[in-house]
Structure 1
Amino acid sequence: MSGKAVVTVAEPRPDRTGTGPSRPAAKRVGWIAVAVWAAGVAAAFAVGWWRRQAGLATEDPLPPLFAHARFLSWQVLPAAGVAAFSVAALPTLTRRFAWRATLLVTWATAALWAVTLAASDGLDALTRPLKAPTEYLAGLPQLSPDPLSWLATFSDRLGGYTTQVRGHPPLPMLVLWLLQQAGLGGAGWAAVLLIGSGSSAVIAIAVTVRRLAGERVARTTLPFLALAPPALWVATTMDAFFLAAGAWGTALLAMAASRKSRLGGVPAAVLGGILLGALPYLSYGLLPLYAVPLAVVVLSRPRLRVLAALACGLVVVPALLTVGGFWWLDGVRATHATYLISRGSARRSFAYYAFADFAVLGLLTGPAVAHALPATLHTIWRSPRALISGIRAPDPIPGSMTDGPAERPILPVALLVGAALLGTLALDLSGVTKGEVERIWIPYAVWIIPAAALHRPPARGWLAAQALTALALQALVLSPW
């Protein structure tokens, strides 16, 4: 798309299928979902407070978050200013700017949003979390002088490493080591990597949505991605880098699957496969995230050569690390063993966190997504035939975003959202995640944000609600990340 692009929204249409809810009913269900969202978040904190007072939960200062309660006032004003300007300007800019310019503006906004939120605690808050003795940088000297020997003995010596290194495969450490070898060592450059890559995920997700659901829906999603509450932990946790790897791998797959891709999409498929193949070696908890690129495959039906190129890319990182001496299953076993003897996370209540972790996911996705989620999931429920055949289904509610009478793009968004939710459900019910999910959920939560595309633009009220959720969390919660 070139030049100024003006996007308009289709007028509401009556539901002629006889199966979709009426518009008033859809609104009512949406507001019920927001009430459930608020009640669930409040209940998670109330039960967490009660458990802590009763001596049943001493692992977390402010369950279900690994954080402390506090109060900021004027310190959040710069972030509030960014939010106010973005709420006013982004819905218009994302409709009128050329597509590439829109992506760059949104990326810059997302990065600025993350930085100003973190800077409410002072500029050193952008690097302070990375300097903690439990983090990756503290363990980086152990790779010297022989990183290959470190990799080959990683699982055997896991107990002697820092907390974050013990809880993850070796690839995050190798990424930081390569950054150091390039002359960009230290917490400052690590923060640049995490914030820059994590905020760039808004571009990757928008590109994916555009390929699957059309440019109009992608433009509607962009403001919500830019001001998403996960920005609180994009600056600065390594999970922001995990988000970027998964998002860009999926975006490259979506681009490769397009019939208009250059060279048949093979180069993009190989590169996307490399990034996606790295996911289990960045974090063991990223394995269920494969549901999202699988949804892209189901929706886009790529050519056989694209799938073959994707498969070649997928094996690159596993093959390199296996040849280097790291066997993934040994890493899983060693990490599980250190987890069981830890004094913290292993003692957390499964019953409480099975519920409370989803309350934290609700905080990360925000009230705008809560309002849109019932209609989003209803789309999947009423469209099993479309999921199998790849045909796009009708919109779930009259007045939803459409690209015209022949193209109904809500189903692709719904399937992406459903895939991310399925991944979080798998982690939650398996007990892999018990607490500290405010950062662990980040690679999943940002894929749920596109559900907000159901709100008719400019939707500034819902966008403001998302920003206020992040500001409230920043003002009331002090996170070590």
Structure 2
Amino acid sequence: MTLTGERRRADAGPRARRAWPGWVAVAVWAAGIAAAFTAGWYLRRAGLATEDRLPPLHAQARERPLTWTMLPAAGFAAAAVAALPPLAARLPWRALPPLAWAGAAAWTVTLAVSDGWDALAAPLHAPTEYPANLAQLRPDPLGWVRTFTERLGGYTTHVRGHPPLPMLVLWALEKAGLGGAGWAAAFLIAAGTSAAAAIAVTVRHVVGEGAARAAVPFLVLAPLAVWIATTMDAFFLAVSAWGTALLALAARRRRMRAAVPAAVAGGLLLGCLPYLSYGLLPLYAVPLAVLLLTRPRAAVIAALGAGLAAAPAAFTLLGFWWPDGVRATLGTYLISRGSAQRSYTYFLPANLAVLGLLTGPATARALPAALGTPRRAARSVPRAVPPAVAVLAAAALAGVLVLDVSGVTRGEVERIWLPFAAWPLIIASLHGRAARPWLAAQAATALAVQALVLSPW
């Protein structure tokens, strides 16, 4: 036996012992998802869960699973698993964010069109969605904002559940000549998939280029792509991700002429989050983690603060007082037949199972390494997860837990948690030489969900 062979045999035992936490995490991931769907089936059969046809998802099982129409998505996944890791490792950095964006967009679209091209815009035609209320906004947008809270009860479900900014975005698209569900769908998909580039940029400036390069394939082939098309929450994901990326960029810029504008722009985007969705407040944990990890100069923090104040000041001057909006939305939530009627006891753990579907088995596999110290990281993840990567992922997960425990997100979290679920993907990126099998597992998860589940988004 050669010396190399002896070393491999000697390392086999320790490597196996260090790998077992990851496999346990994958087993827990699979068991948790199975338990959530099984319990949901029993609750629905007993008449205790009637809001959703396939709890914990707000969806239904397909009568006939998709077959040949999944071939474009399966073909893209196979090509991406083969090509993305070497491309991410070798291409110049300036090419990687556009690659991440284009790849994520292609993956999202090929999954969605397995139901036909009409499926891209179909969700926005629903009577509960935002476009159904555009007619009330068009005559007097300023008056609509000013009286938004008072007239909340007369709006559609999604408008009642959110502040006014999402509707104003659709109105602005229409004014720009991009009206209609088709343009809105294209905008939401383009925006949501751009988050892959934004998160890669953030990881590069906070952690390092090596970690960002390794993250790109997993950001592209994320299982959450199933729900990017077509939901307004994809736009929320983009705004939060680019706001955080601009903050990270500003924190690392040496020249203040470049740092200050980036900080202001990042603050503008991040300041919009509470006016896009009330449930995005816990997501501020991620930019806060960036601040703690980068420790930017005082001028950058001041510029960030100025940007953050812009949206609250503008909406307050226009007549929308955010705390009143929260109270009015809570009132309609409590008297509605929607989420407030769902079981808190069931959805508290079941929502976390949905998070598992969004992030995939590769994230679960890397989680023990992220929770441990680099010195004790599993050998099956050769490049130990840098502490900064773990902090960014943990910040997003903390936000999810806050929402989950609060009980305001009971069901439909497959779309609501998109802005949070994209960040834990970065710990799945550091599987080293074992990246391809886990990247394939991510793609297989998305393909299975799309083939078996019919979602309204």
What TM-score, normalized to structure 2?
A: 0.95
CA contact (8 A) 1:277 1:318 kept: yes
SS of equivalent residue, structure 1 residue 433? coil
CA contact (8 A) 1:377 1:418 kept: no
1:341-356 correspondence to structure 2 within 5 Å? 341-356=335-350
CA contact (8 A) 1:295 1:419 kept: yes
Structure-1 residue corresponding to 2:4: none
Q: Distance in 2 between matches of 1:274 and 1:463?
A: 34
Structure-2 residue corresponding to 1:273: 267
Q: Structure 1 residue 131: deviation in Å?
A: 1.1
Out of 145, 169, 182, the position equivalent to 1:151 is 145
1:111 aligns with 2:105: yes
SS of equivalent residue, structure 2 residue 223? coil
Query: Closer, same or farther in 2 for the Cα pair 1:317/1:373, shift >3 Å?
Result: same
Q: Structure 1 residue 401: deviation in Å?
A: 5.7
1:38 aligns with 2:30: yes
Q: Distance in 1 between matches of 2:276 and 2:327?
A: 16
Query: Closer, same or farther in 2 for the Cα pair 1:261/1:53, shift >3 Å?
Result: farther
Q: Distance in 2 between matches of 1:396 and 1:213?
A: 17
CA contact (8 A) 1:220 1:457 kept: no
User: CA deviation digits over 1:25-60, x for unaligned, max 9?
Assistant: 331000000000000000000000000001111010
CA contact (8 A) 2:369 2:381 kept: no
**408-417 or 286-295: bigger deviation:** 408-417
Out of 404, 416, 421, the position equivalent to 1:428 is 404
CA contact (8 A) 1:113 1:227 kept: yes
SS of equivalent residue, structure 1 residue 459? helix
Structure-2 residue corresponding to 1:78: 72
Runs of 4+ that moved beyond 6 A: none
How many pairs align? 446
CA contact (8 A) 2:138 2:171 kept: no
Out of 50, 53, 75, the position equivalent to 1:58 is 50
**56-65 or 259-268: bigger deviation:** 259-268
1:452 aligns with 2:428: yes
In structure 1, what residue type is equivalent to 2:32?
G
SS of equivalent residue, structure 2 residue 31? helix
Q: Distance in 2 between matches of 1:458 and 1:141?
A: 53
Q: Structure 1 residue 73: deviation in Å?
A: 1.0
Q: Distance in 1 between matches of 2:435 and 2:263?
A: 35
In structure 2, what residue type is equivalent to 1:317?
A
1:124-273 correspondence to structure 2 within 5 Å? 124-261=118-255, 263=257, 265-273=259-267
1:91 aligns with 2:85: yes
In structure 2, what residue type is equivalent to 1:84?
A
- Gaps in structure 2 of 5+ consecutive residues: 1-7
Structure-2 residue corresponding to 1:396: 377
In structure 2, what residue type is equivalent to 1:479?
S
CA contact (8 A) 1:395 1:411 kept: no
Q: Distance in 2 between matches of 1:261 and 1:419?
A: 28
Q: Structure 1 residue 166: deviation in Å?
A: 0.4
SS of equivalent residue, structure 1 residue 236? coil
CA contact (8 A) 1:88 1:460 kept: yes
Q: Structure 1 residue 250: deviation in Å?
A: 0.3
SS of equivalent residue, structure 1 residue 241? helix
Q: Distance in 2 between matches of 1:29 and 1:395?
A: 11
Query: Closer, same or farther in 2 for the Cα pair 1:26/1:322, shift >3 Å?
Result: farther
1:324 aligns with 2:318: yes
1:471 aligns with 2:447: yes
More helix by share: 2
CA contact (8 A) 1:91 1:458 kept: no
Structure-1 residue corresponding to 2:393: 417
Query: Closer, same or farther in 2 for the Cα pair 1:432/1:156, shift >3 Å?
Result: same
Structure-1 residue corresponding to 2:363: 369
Structure-1 residue corresponding to 2:16: 24
SS of equivalent residue, structure 1 residue 230? helix
Q: Distance in 2 between matches of 1:307 and 1:401?
A: 36
In structure 1, what residue type is equivalent to 2:189?
I
Q: Structure 1 residue 264: deviation in Å?
A: 5.4
Q: Distance in 2 between matches of 1:111 and 1:151?
A: 33
1:304 aligns with 2:277: no
Q: Distance in 2 between matches of 1:22 and 1:80?
A: 36
SS of equivalent residue, structure 1 residue 58? coil
Q: Distance in 2 between matches of 1:254 and 1:354?
A: 33
In structure 1, what residue type is equivalent to 2:33?
V
What TM-score, normalized to structure 1?
A: 0.90
Q: Distance in 2 between matches of 1:431 and 1:458?
A: 38
CA contact (8 A) 1:230 1:365 kept: yes
Structure-1 residue corresponding to 2:5: none
Q: Structure 1 residue 398: deviation in Å?
A: 4.6
Q: Distance in 2 between matches of 1:300 and 1:194?
A: 31
Structure-2 residue corresponding to 1:439: 415
Q: Distance in 2 between matches of 1:30 and 1:409?
A: 13
1:49 aligns with 2:14: no
RMSD across aligned positions (CA): 1.8
- Gaps in structure 1 of 5+ consecutive residues: 1-11, 13-20, 380-392, 403-407
**51-60 or 337-346: bigger deviation:** 337-346
User: CA deviation digits over 1:261-312, x for unaligned, max 9?
Assistant: 5525100000000000000110011000000000000000000000000000
Q: Distance in 1 between matches of 2:178 and 2:15?
A: 54
Q: Distance in 1 between matches of 2:150 and 2:431?
A: 51
In structure 2, what residue type is equivalent to 1:413?
V
Q: Distance in 1 between matches of 2:148 and 2:172?
A: 17
Q: Distance in 2 between matches of 1:359 and 1:30?
A: 17
